Structure 1
Amino acid sequence: MSNPIRDLARAGNLPLPQLVRLWSEIQPDRLAFREKELGIWKRVTWGEYARNMDLVALGLSELGYGPGDRMAIAGEGVPEWMYADLASQSLGGVCVGLYPTSPWPELAYILQNSGARVVVCGDQEQVDKILEARRRTDLPNLSWIVYVDDKGMRGYQEDGLISFADLIERGRRRLEQEPAALVAHKKQMAERSPDEPAIIVYTSGTTGAPKGAMLSHRNMLVAACSVVDTFGYDGNNHEVLCYLPLCHVAERSFSTVMQLCCGSVVNFAESVDTVSADLREIGPTLFLGVPRIWEKLQQTIDIKIRESYPLHRWAYQFALSRALPIARREIAAGGQRRTLRDRIMAWLLYVLMFRNIQRFLGLYRAAACFCGAASVSPETLLFFRCIGLPIYQVYGMTETAAVAFQQQPGRTAFGCVGVPIPSLQYRLGEDGELLMKGPTVFLGYLDAPEATAAVMNDGWIASGDIAAVVDGEVQIIDRKKDLIITSGGKNISPSEIEHALKESAYVREAIVVGDGRNFVSALIQIDYDTVGKWAQERQLSFTTFRSLTLVADVRELIGQDVQKANSRFARVAQVRKFALLSKELDHDDGELTATMKVRRKSIEQKFAQEISELYGARA
């Protein structure tokens, strides 16, 4: 049966705050949020969600916040994040998400570029960074800093600094003094256009300064509803764990916007460190992970199995050996088990072994699991399909509101990202670059018409990715700017080689180099946990990350996995030499973006000496 609110959301015909209002009217007592505080899950109903959104909006209007203003939010995912976000939008403002891990210079750049008038900070740490940015840079538009957690804030006396509780209290006093203000606000909110900017998401800045991509209410809703519709989610069977920063467009789409599409539940993890425990307690019905998350989950299982009793290890390996051919046949058949024998065997393996593994991961209720941000290795995909958790890859950009292509049952080829969402058109340029057009394509970059024109042409956005079509599915080859051309004129995709190297449980990161050179080399960051455990089992001495990379046996271990990866490529694309990085790549050092993507230029500059030595020269 069609749901009128769902139909409006699917077409993107309402602003996001109005959907909160409608869901609160038809299901005021149903659960909207759970937030874990000190080990206890606290509940927020849809009625409370709408009420808090309204009070924050009235409080913001008391601060002079209105149409066209911009609010920045710095902090982990909590209900207050959404109250502030939706309240800002309901007033005609635009929300700008800030990564909580970003140092103050990065925050200062975004605050300056966006002209944010209000910043909502999760805790004292974020307040300190914003205050530092205000002291050391020119932020003429910044008038108010609002903090959610008051721990450690008692002695602060800065101008324009107030608590989130005080903001809500201002809205409550306004409502008591002027009851008609809420009626007028609701009317104005309902009249807002879904094609107005709702949020500004800054690109990760892997090749330059971040740009503010403006996304409308319609952009976000059409993209999110495409996933919800494909997998048949509604308010009764859609529940997620929000653990990535909400400033990331994928987390915003898969958590909070999909929630508005079907009136479901969002659970906010207590912290990144408690995600595993939170998953087991909540048992989400949908889970989105970046490749590193899925690889880490697989490694966790492998480590637990190695630490178990011999009989348990034998039983696990036996079950996995029986599940692998079934999984391969299933992939070949488009995700379906064709024979009765396979269905019976898969059910037995699930009951006897894999059900417990799913419960250990907390994914026993997941009807669909997704991987985004980058492609994941076929071995990882095969492993999770073996244990009954098929992973569907999705592809999109910040500029396409997170989701542009998605795999689904029947479209699950390794190395591909599925088919376009129903509203999207796509084609390949002459050089193979993926071009897209549709209602999810962004409004443009904030105050950057030249940058917008560089990627947009007659409604078509250039993705910057080289792609191919394989059996009806799109396959992303590599970033156009990252392709390597050797001195012999051969075009090589570094990401394909890097993915093969990172299939090793002992490799955390790999950066392939060789542009203009006569062979391909790699900088490799070991996985400290898995390599450290391997070294301990062999009683190899080390004290730090650096000392571990200097152990000869470790280099031999990585060398074996490099050769294993090389066996999959033609000689011209094989890694001839490699260097182990003596430190872990870090966001604070400018080597990774806030989304943990590699900044290639920065790394090539910082490790120029290592690269030169690989090619027999001194920097």
Structure 2
Amino acid sequence: MSELSRDIVHTTLPHLLVHRARTSPDLVALREKVRGVWRRTTWQEYEQRVKIFAFGLARLGFRRGDRLAIAGEDTPEWLIADLAVQALGGVTVGIYPTNPWAELQYIVAHSQCRFVVCGDQEQVDKILDASSNGTGLPLVEKVIAVDMKGMRKYDDHRLISWEDVESFSAEADTADVDRAWTGALETITPEDICIIVYTSGTTGPPKGAQLRHRNLLHSAAAIVRTYGLTADTYSVLCYLPLCHVGERICSMTVHLCTGGTVSFAESIDTIDTNIREIGPTFFLGMPRVWEKHRLNALIRLNEARPYQKWLFGFLYGHIRRRLEPKLAAGRAPRAEGVLERLEYWGAHLLAFRAMKKHMGLDHSIVRICGGAPVSPETLLFFAVLGLPVYQVYGLTESGGITFLQHEKAWLPGGAGAPIEGVEYRLAEDGEILIRSPTVFHGYLFDEEATQKALSPDGWLSTGDVAERAGDNEIRIVDRKKAIIITSGGKNIAPSEIENALKESLFIREAIILGEQRHFVAALIQINMDSVGKWAQDKGLAYTNYRSLSQLPEVNELIARDVERVNKRFARVESVRKFVILSKELDHDDGELTATQKVKRAFIEKKYAEEIARIYGKEPA
């Protein structure tokens, strides 16, 4: 924690911002690319912008306990608004920029937000649509637009620009602005609720999980201590939506704890380019991100020259055979001894370096994966490259990360050991229960759901089935609601089979079926890029995803991969039949959550015809 002690959990996020501005005013805190040039914001400038925006909000009537929603892509203004609201004793409600207006309406209305910050015209239009349809948004008083492009002629009395909010401080005496800032900070405490994160809603309407400063800082402080992060070793690319608790932990909480640098991706389409430009030292990825990195690397390798492919395969296979026994024993995948180090550096120079640089991870020190179990083959791939990925476990309701893998807790398929202060136990059905300072305050305006999740003595029911691994580690089996019970009474964790299928270069997504059925089946979404390249090499004609998915040769291609996966599982867990989906799963179509998780119940209902082709008239 460098100069900060364990007492960090007894402060607040805005107080940490002030600390950074005082102790390292000229160090770079934020970087944003503007017209091709990375614009830097120092810690002193960061605090000043938060102070100015907080003053403007207060002039607009924002008061302690009020809630403000933020809808927009990741930008410095997102974090500035977040910390300004917290400094005033308010609560920030993040909204995914991909949410349609109906979902935005539900969250803003349910949380009773009086203020909304919108990144651009697209998000403002959603607010206007939400205001004029259904029950509307009668409580919203001000809509603050960061980028006013395209909205100068909008006729809505609630609409105000970000610059107009900042201008309030320019019209006031500097001493008054400073006094207001200092006075506001004196009123906030670690026990204050500072953010509300709405769950992704895979099984119903999203619920607003209320988190305190203490919840977030306890989790972040443990990450900093475990990995020894400092201002010099913490550089992160902000690319996941900031309303996601994982990105909030990395780009705000851990950032404030370390005093490092956050760089913002330009857009979802430029992430690969930006990560190569930035070369972050710390990188958080969801399973889909790591799987995509691996698949893209292998696709690129397939396009290399024959001798390059041979050399990579030879070195990869050699190091893999050396690492597998270590990983099986729970040892960190590092080179030990002079000979192993020479082998690794030789492989790095001859074959791995270019691949790591292309992924933008050549400068990374810590790489973590959270959100769901990830394929063991994917983890092994990065370990062989010398980029071991630590699996972590946590959920929104537990304040982010509560279990961490590290060099002394590294069992294959595990999620690490509990961070300091976390107690856990397994219920009779295997559900993991957690009690710790990170556990949330409860769901906003939903006492019934809160009581289901939190016991009177503080135990959080996570909804995840887990197993003990090693001395003090856990292994996440699957979501409790996702466990399949076949008609023969066999319990099957679908994520293990799905992850195995997604190891294929040609399978992007897999949904395992079998609840109260006689056998296991799968709905499969092919990988458009890799299957398309394969089809071109075979001289097969297609025009789009739909036509590609319907080629009989593609069905045979996927069947071979399914058969390979089946050899790894017991007969009762083998995929007997599958159907290739005729379209790619999409959040806009309600098939995925904003965090790209599959909505299983919705999928099974929407693709009932495809499922009927598999099971016939067999009753579900």
State the TM-score, normalizing by the size of structure 2.
Answer: 0.97
Once the two structures are superposed, what CA deviation does each residue of 1:37-58 show, in whole Å capped at 9, x if it has no partner? 2221000000110000000000
SS at match of 1:359: helix
For 1:341, give the aligned amino acid. Answer: L
Q: How does 1:428-443 map to 2 (within 5 A)?
A: 428-443=426-441
Q: Structure 1 residue 480 and structure 2 residue 480: aligned?
A: yes
CA distance in structure 2 between the aligned counterparts of 1:588 and 1:172, rounded to whole angstroms? 42
2:75 is aligned to 78
1:539 is aligned to 539
2:466 is aligned to 467
Q: How does 1:271-350 map to 2 (within 5 A)?
A: 271-331=267-327, 332=329, 334-335=331-332, 336-350=334-348
1:238 is aligned to 234
SS at match of 1:140: coil
Once the two structures are superposed, what CA deviation does each residue of 1:539-579 show, in whole Å capped at 9, x if it has no partner? 11111111111100100111111111111111111111111
For 2:467, give the aligned amino acid. Answer: A
- The Cα shift of 1:525 comes to 0.8
Q: Structure 1 residue 514 and structure 2 residue 510: aligned?
A: no
- The Cα shift of 1:505 comes to 1.4
2:451 to 450, 453, 469: 453
Once the two structures are superposed, what CA deviation does each residue of 1:410-447 show, in whole Å capped at 9, x if it has no partner? 32222110111111110101111100001000000001
Once the two structures are superposed, what CA deviation does each residue of 1:296-315 show, in whole Å capped at 9, x if it has no partner? 11122112222122222222
SS at match of 2:94: strand
Q: Structure 1 residue 396 and structure 2 residue 388: aligned?
A: no
2:152 is aligned to 154
For 2:31, give the aligned amino acid. Answer: R
CA distance in structure 1 between the aligned counterparts of 2:416 and 2:527, rounded to whole angstroms? 30
| Contact persistence 1:59–1:174 (CA under 8 A) | no
| Contact persistence 2:93–2:243 (CA under 8 A) | yes
1:617 is aligned to 617
CA distance in structure 1 between the aligned counterparts of 2:156 and 2:349, rounded to whole angstroms? 60
Once the two structures are superposed, what CA deviation does each residue of 1:333-388 show, in whole Å capped at 9, x if it has no partner? 51143443222211221222222222221111111111111111111111111111
| Contact persistence 2:69–2:93 (CA under 8 A) | yes
CA distance in structure 2 between the aligned counterparts of 1:376 and 1:476, rounded to whole angstroms? 10
1:65 to 62, 87, 98: 62
For 1:315, give the aligned amino acid. Answer: L
- The Cα shift of 1:532 comes to 0.9
- The Cα shift of 1:187 comes to 2.9
Q: How does 1:600-611 map to 2 (within 5 A)?
A: 600-611=600-611
CA distance in structure 2 between the aligned counterparts of 1:252 and 1:583, rounded to whole angstroms? 32
SS at match of 1:503: coil
CA distance in structure 1 between the aligned counterparts of 2:173 and 2:498, rounded to whole angstroms? 57
Moved more, 353-362 or 502-511: 353-362
CA distance in structure 2 between the aligned counterparts of 1:312 and 1:559, rounded to whole angstroms? 29
CA distance in structure 1 between the aligned counterparts of 2:380 and 2:492, rounded to whole angstroms? 26
CA distance in structure 2 between the aligned counterparts of 1:528 and 1:357, rounded to whole angstroms? 22
2:213 to 203, 208, 217: 217
For 1:549, give the aligned amino acid. Answer: S
For 1:350, give the aligned amino acid. Answer: H
4+ residue stretches of structure 1 with deviation over 6 A? none
For 1:467, give the aligned amino acid. Answer: A
SS at match of 2:206: coil
| Contact persistence 1:213–1:399 (CA under 8 A) | yes
| Contact persistence 1:510–1:525 (CA under 8 A) | yes
TM-align CA RMSD: 1.4
Q: Structure 1 residue 371 and structure 2 residue 369: aligned?
A: yes
1:499 is aligned to 499
- The Cα shift of 1:325 comes to 1.6
- The Cα shift of 1:329 comes to 3.7
Once the two structures are superposed, what CA deviation does each residue of 1:24-70 show, in whole Å capped at 9, x if it has no partner? 01111110000012221000000110000000000000110011100
Once the two structures are superposed, what CA deviation does each residue of 1:496-536 show, in whole Å capped at 9, x if it has no partner? 11111111111111111111111111111111111111111
Once the two structures are superposed, what CA deviation does each residue of 1:202-237 show, in whole Å capped at 9, x if it has no partner? 001001110000000010111011111111011111
For 1:462, give the aligned amino acid. Answer: S
For 2:124, give the aligned amino acid. Answer: V
Q: How does 1:124-135 map to 2 (within 5 A)?
A: 124-135=121-132
1:529 is aligned to 529
SS at match of 1:535: helix
- The Cα shift of 1:618 comes to 9.0
- The Cα shift of 1:2 comes to 4.8
| Contact persistence 1:18–1:190 (CA under 8 A) | no
Segments of 5+ residues of structure 1 without an aligned counterpart are: none
CA distance in structure 2 between the aligned counterparts of 1:329 and 1:574, rounded to whole angstroms? 27
Q: How does 1:345-356 map to 2 (within 5 A)?
A: 345-356=343-354
| Contact persistence 1:423–1:438 (CA under 8 A) | yes
SS at match of 1:396: strand
- The Cα shift of 1:240 comes to 0.3
1:113 to 94, 110, 115: 110
CA distance in structure 2 between the aligned counterparts of 1:507 and 1:371, rounded to whole angstroms? 20
CA distance in structure 2 between the aligned counterparts of 1:373 and 1:428, rounded to whole angstroms? 20
1:142 is aligned to 140
Segments of 5+ residues of structure 2 without an aligned counterpart are: none
CA distance in structure 2 between the aligned counterparts of 1:235 and 1:259, rounded to whole angstroms? 8
| Contact persistence 2:52–2:177 (CA under 8 A) | no
| Contact persistence 1:60–1:171 (CA under 8 A) | no
State the TM-score, normalizing by the size of structure 1.
Answer: 0.97
1:557 is aligned to 557
CA distance in structure 2 between the aligned counterparts of 1:133 and 1:175, rounded to whole angstroms? 38
1:52 is aligned to 49
| Contact persistence 1:118–1:145 (CA under 8 A) | yes
For 1:183, give the aligned amino acid. Answer: R
Q: Structure 1 residue 3 and structure 2 residue 11: aligned?
A: no
SS at match of 1:146: strand
